[in-house]
Each structure stands twice: as C-alpha cells, then as structure tokens.
Amino acid sequence: MAAIKTTRTVLAAAAALGVALAPALAQETPKVKGAVEKIDESAEKITLNHAPIPNLDMGEMKMVFKAGDKAMLKQVKKGDKVLFTADRVNGQLTITSIAKSK
C-alpha cells in the first residue's frame, strides 16, 4: 500500500510540474518579414532577405533556407514580399510557413 501511495504522489507531482512548465515550452514561432531573392526548386531551397528572427537569434540578413514543404516553392516567386516562420529542423534552417504579404 505504501508503494501505491508513493507512486500516486510522484505521478501527481510530475503532472503538476508539466502543467506549470507548459506555457514556457509552448513558445510560438514569430512571423518575420522578408523578400524572396531566389528559389532553387532542385535543392528545395529559398533565399530570403529577412528581418531579425528572434527564435533563431538571427539578425537582419540574406539567408538560404530549406523549404519545409515542396509546395512552398510554388507559393512565392522572386521579388515577392513575404511573412514567414523559420526554425531549425533536423539541424537545418527551415521555413515552416510562408505567405505573400503586401
């Protein structure tokens, strides 16, 4: 019986800790302004001139990103202004969403 009580106490504490940490772990990836400089369909890469990307601790610069989805390569073209999100996916800088902006 003592083992069951201890197990319940440990599980309850773990659940409480998980709930307390959830907001800190659930950081939203910020949308960033950019402009498409180049699209390389064969390499599945998009080159963007972009504003700072806080979640990647990256300043304003021109950078090549992997397209998170092949469809992204058709959604935009050179010269388009865009809003995008980016993150490290399997060690590669990757666009996780992209849309034309005004």
pLDDT digits (tens, 9 = 90+) for 33-43: 999 999 999 99
In a domain, 59, yes or no: yes
pLDDT in tens, 6-50: 656 545 554 554 444 444 445 689 999 999 999 999 999 999 999
| Residue 45 near residue 31, CB atoms below 8 Å | no
Task: Say if residues 98 and 75 touch (Cβ distance below 8 Å).
Answer: yes
SS3 category, 22 = helix
List, in sequence order, the alpha helices (H) in 1-87.
2-25, 72-75
* Residue 81 confidence (pLDDT): 99
Domain count for the chain, please give it.
1
Assigned domain for 10 exists? no
Domain span at residue 85?
32-100
- Quick check: is 20 in a domain? no
| Residue 82: pLDDT over 80 | yes
Question: 5 pLDDT exceeds 90?
Answer: no
Spatial CA neighbour of 67 closest among 36, 91, 43: 43
1 assigned to some structural domain: no
23 occurs within a structural domain? no
Residue 5 lies in a domain: no
pLDDT value, residue 15: 52
Phi and psi at residue 22, to the nearest 5° = -55, -45
11 located within any domain: no
Query: Residue 28 has what pLDDT?
Result: 80
